[in-house]
Structure 1
Amino acid sequence: MHRITIFYSFLIFLAITSCQEKNGNSKESEKLSLKPNIVFVLADDLGIGDLGSYGQEYIKTPNLDRMAKEGMLFTDFYSGSTVCAPSRASLMTGKHTGHLTIRGNGEFPLKSTDTTIAQILKSQGYHTAMFGKWGLGLQGTSGSPEKKGWDEFTGHLHHVDGHFQKPDSLWSIEKGGVKKHAIEDDAFANEIFTQKGINFIDKQSDNQPFFLFMSYTVPHAELRVEDKYLAPYLNKHGESIFEPENPWPTGRHYGQQKYPKAAYAAMVTSLDSYVGKLLEKLKSKGLEENTLVIFTSDNGTHIEGGRTKEDVKFFNSTAGLRGVKRDLYEGGIRTPFIAHWPGTIPKGSISSVTAAYWDLLPTFTELAGYKKRLETDGFSIMDILLGKTKDINREFLYWEFHEEGGKIAIRMGDWKVVWTNLLDSNISAKCAVYNLKNDPYESVDLSSKHPDIIEKAKELYRQQHQRSEIDKFRISIPEN
């Protein structure tokens, strides 16, 4: 009798467990069947080492650190380029710089044939909004925001306008076009963008998914920041806690700054505060568990407006990686990348998958249920985010950039080939080979030992490089 009781108890246990598993799987499937909201937060010139979650010791970033603890932190993620416009174009269109129209800065617009993430998500029923720096098309061009899928927009059209933290005006979508309007005197643009983002989230409901793109202009120069963010980096006498400082004088393109190191730290902390406010609004609206939030930077850290290479080294803004903004070494293109989606993304997870900006268009469109064929150089990282797999079948990554002599970089697994001086008639072009697994800091050139790696990279170059339509961006590697 006792054995029979145990046997029936075991059958009941199996039945209950089976039901719980089915219910759990059903809930997960139901959650994924709902189109999730997407909030994409983009920093401007933030180094991979500038966040506490990536090893920063001096700059306070509690909200982003918490976001990493609650979500997934990527250690091997790359931007689309090493300056803002091509990086954003890569993000929006899912293409690398060998295929983009926009391969550098200079106010060249997206073409009418360039399809953006916003356009695809809008076609899938998403309400789309962007606040911050656009830089992919001025008023009246084919790349103006209202023509590229945005329902709402307030920000900068021209990327140079984003160089000034307290502008006198911004642009907004109004009546099917964009219109410039004055803003309150002495207002910080990124405070306005944040409030716009909060107001946008506050208007949302479960009835329609949304895509919110927060394109901040910090910590890009000019190094100007609100006093409340600067205060933690000043001593009781109102002086920088990071002395010695080298003041940036007045009368130059970027505004003056007495304490460049303190101001840079404060700008990163201000960015962290903005992210915290957005996360809090999602939570208070009950949208947190159906919203994927991504945080990253458009390229590596900068040395502009009073910031120096010594400052970069002091903060370890590149996490020890070689190069900064405008370089195709790791410090110029490897960026922080944090994904947050409570209940869906495994909490406290770390991904070492090699991924890049052009993977985001296929990822977001898969989330939205888009079934049509995509013209993209990327792969969806959806299964990485869900913890279903740890890698994607990637053969290479590709970048090209025309400034500072011209350069091209190709990564193939652990190997990376970098060509420099491609456009400088006074200096011979140079080709270097690095093994990132053994030498993540790109300090040992192995080109003399690995001509086979160079030949493999050349073949990929011939496959992936399309001659630029714009003379300014044209670049090529030597035939021999």
Structure 2
Amino acid sequence: MKVILTVLFFLLLSTQVVLLAQKQKPNIIFILSDDLGYGDLGCYGSTQISTPNIDALAKSGTKFTQFYAGSTVCAPSRASLMTGLHTGHVSIRGNGEVPLAATDSILPQYLHQAGYKNGLVGKWGLGQTGTTGVPEKKGWDFFAGLLHHVEGHFQKPDSAWKLLNETTTRIKIPENQYSNEWFTSQAKIFIQENQSNPFFLYLAYTLPHAELVVPKAAMQPYLTEDGASKFGQEKGHPIGQHYGAQAFPKAAYAAMVSQMDEYIGQIVAYLKEQKLYDNTIIVFTSDNGTHKEGGRTNQDIQFFNSSGGLRGAKRDLYEGGIRVPFIVSWKGKIKPGTINQHIGALWDILPTFNEIAGVTVKPPTDGISMIKALKGKKQLAHNLLYWEFYEGGFKQAILQNNLKAIRFYKGTTPIRTELYDLAIDRGETIDIAAQNEQKVKLMEALMNRERTTSSNPLFQIK
């Protein structure tokens, strides 16, 4: 009997040690905004949009000045985040009805190996029911949100999707509730249910993507006493279009950013209330640059300086389409209030989180773990970053050191390559290709090397 009790004691002790080791692993919350511009946050220079909670994350952690999205539209950018591959290699290279492939191993599947529970809340966009990309086939233990990216175009849907009995199922959501309010409540449920183990929460808001429909409470700070836009006379978006009507697109866009900021404040407060904040990494970024949809125009982008002085917006491979805000808060690990000049991209997230979690498998990736950069140490730098995009004619871009090349095609034929020195021309105003022909040829050769031909007809040069 004594021997049995001794064995049971050591089994119990070893189990407690394992549980303690698991709990000491940090929780990870990755918050992705939808179509937020580089300059739309107070901590990135905005003077007209209020974002105190996101600004507070930057003050408690580090703010990157040259971080890049996976693409200039949502689906390939999110696929790059999940797979750790850039758009020359990833299976999803543009928007459309293309799910993640069965052979695509993604971030939550790796984190499972390190004992993490994985929650997906918000917009997925990488696989509908009946496909190889549906959430339950890709490592998610919890899902509450929208499967198709077009579902995310509307701020007050009558239904959403939830993972029930290991199957993604359409459900009713509370009548007249804004989807992002529901996402926030579901995120809290996931956090509450997973306090006894390390967790990864991917919280993908659909703000400030059009449609520009906003709760009254969020809109109020951007209206005058008589109910007009505080930004002056506005050209409204009419009824009967794809996106809902909006009389004040400028005010609504600003309100949507502030609305998301409020929800993020709620998540941080809930972590503190549950005594989880001290052991949780919080990352905030955007899937691509700011948009021109639902009544929002180029003039509105300029009015808010939404691209932060960068050229272009969503659907451009200029900096305004792909450079995004990137903030990481990690108490005790990251020096508060630091500005980080490390050059990174969304495909770095998978190797970074894998290393933080202690995943031993080394997946194929174009990314580099950024742990040293996060902690303010000297970090291995990328040799180059690469993007390609298909809408409006095929385009490629490559960034090497401070030189950025963009190649434009007409059909299958390259028609020109532009070259910019971002060290002295971050706004990409001076094309120096004509004075640097040899460098242009080198950059074009690198583009050819980085691109693997896709088997999907949608993602072929044509």
- Give the TM-score of the pair, scaled to structure 1: 0.90
Name the SS for the 1:98 alignment partner.
coil
Partner of 2:435: 449
Partner of 2:452: 466
Q: How does 1:223-372 map to 2 (within 5 A)?
A: 223-372=212-361
Q: Which moved more, 1:346-355 or 1:179-188?
A: 179-188
Partner of 2:12: none
Does the CA-based 8 Å contact 1:137-1:144 persist in structure 2?
Answer: yes
* CA–CA separation in structure 1 for the residues paired with 2:320 and 2:234: 23
Q: How does 1:57-456 map to 2 (within 5 A)?
A: 57-205=47-195, 207-389=196-378, 391-423=379-411, 429-456=415-442
* CA–CA separation in structure 2 for the residues paired with 1:165 and 1:421: 36
State the AA in 2 paired with 1:117. L
Q: Which moved more, 1:414-423 or 1:260-269?
A: 414-423
The Cα shift of 1:32 comes to 11
* Alpha-carbon spacing, 1:216–1:37, altered in 2? closer, same or farther (3 Å): same
Q: Which moved more, 1:173-182 or 1:293-302?
A: 173-182
* CA–CA separation in structure 1 for the residues paired with 2:22 and 2:47: 37
Q: Deviation string for 1:74-111 (max 9, x for gaps)?
A: 00000000000000000000000000110000020001
The Cα shift of 1:31 comes to 9.8
Does the CA-based 8 Å contact 1:124-1:368 persist in structure 2?
Answer: yes
The Cα shift of 1:387 comes to 1.9
State the AA in 1 paired with 2:328. A
Does the CA-based 8 Å contact 1:47-1:317 persist in structure 2?
Answer: yes
* CA–CA separation in structure 2 for the residues paired with 1:158 and 1:469: 22
Name the SS for the 1:410 alignment partner.
strand
The Cα shift of 1:243 comes to 1.4
Q: Which moved more, 1:357-366 or 1:413-422?
A: 413-422
Q: Deviation string for 1:208-241 (max 9, x for gaps)?
A: 1000010000100000010000000000001100
Does the CA-based 8 Å contact 1:109-1:138 persist in structure 2?
Answer: yes
Q: Deviation string for 1:416-446 (max 9, x for gaps)?
A: 0001244388xx7221000000110011011
Does the CA-based 8 Å contact 2:127-2:135 persist in structure 1?
Answer: yes
- The gaps in structure 2 that reach 5 residues or longer are 1-19
Does the CA-based 8 Å contact 1:127-1:209 persist in structure 2?
Answer: yes
Does the CA-based 8 Å contact 2:69-2:322 persist in structure 1?
Answer: yes
Name the SS for the 2:313 alignment partner.
coil
* CA–CA separation in structure 2 for the residues paired with 1:149 and 1:244: 49
Does the CA-based 8 Å contact 2:23-2:197 persist in structure 1?
Answer: no
Q: Does 1:51 align with 2:37?
A: no
Partner of 1:16: none
The Cα shift of 1:33 comes to 9.6
* CA–CA separation in structure 1 for the residues paired with 2:376 and 2:275: 24
- The gaps in structure 1 that reach 5 residues or longer are 1-29
State the AA in 1 paired with 2:24. L
Root-mean-square deviation (CA), in Å? Answer: 1.5
* CA–CA separation in structure 2 for the residues paired with 1:85 and 1:229: 28
Percent sequence identity over aligned pairs: 49
The Cα shift of 1:67 comes to 0.7
Length, aligned pairs only: 443
Does the CA-based 8 Å contact 1:127-1:211 persist in structure 2?
Answer: yes
Partner of 1:25: none
Partner of 2:13: none
Does the CA-based 8 Å contact 2:39-2:45 persist in structure 1?
Answer: yes
Does the CA-based 8 Å contact 2:397-2:447 persist in structure 1?
Answer: no
Q: Deviation string for 1:12-44 (max 9, x for gaps)?
A: xxxxxxxxxxxxxxxxxx999931110000000
Q: Deviation string for 1:246-282 (max 9, x for gaps)?
A: 1000000000000000000000000101111111111
Name the SS for the 1:336 alignment partner.
strand
Name the SS for the 1:358 alignment partner.
helix
Structure ID, larger Rg: 1
Does the CA-based 8 Å contact 1:407-1:422 persist in structure 2?
Answer: no
The Cα shift of 1:183 comes to 1.6
Name the SS for the 2:284 alignment partner.
strand
The Cα shift of 1:154 comes to 0.8
Does the CA-based 8 Å contact 1:31-1:290 persist in structure 2?
Answer: no
Partner of 1:7: none
State the AA in 2 paired with 1:281. Y
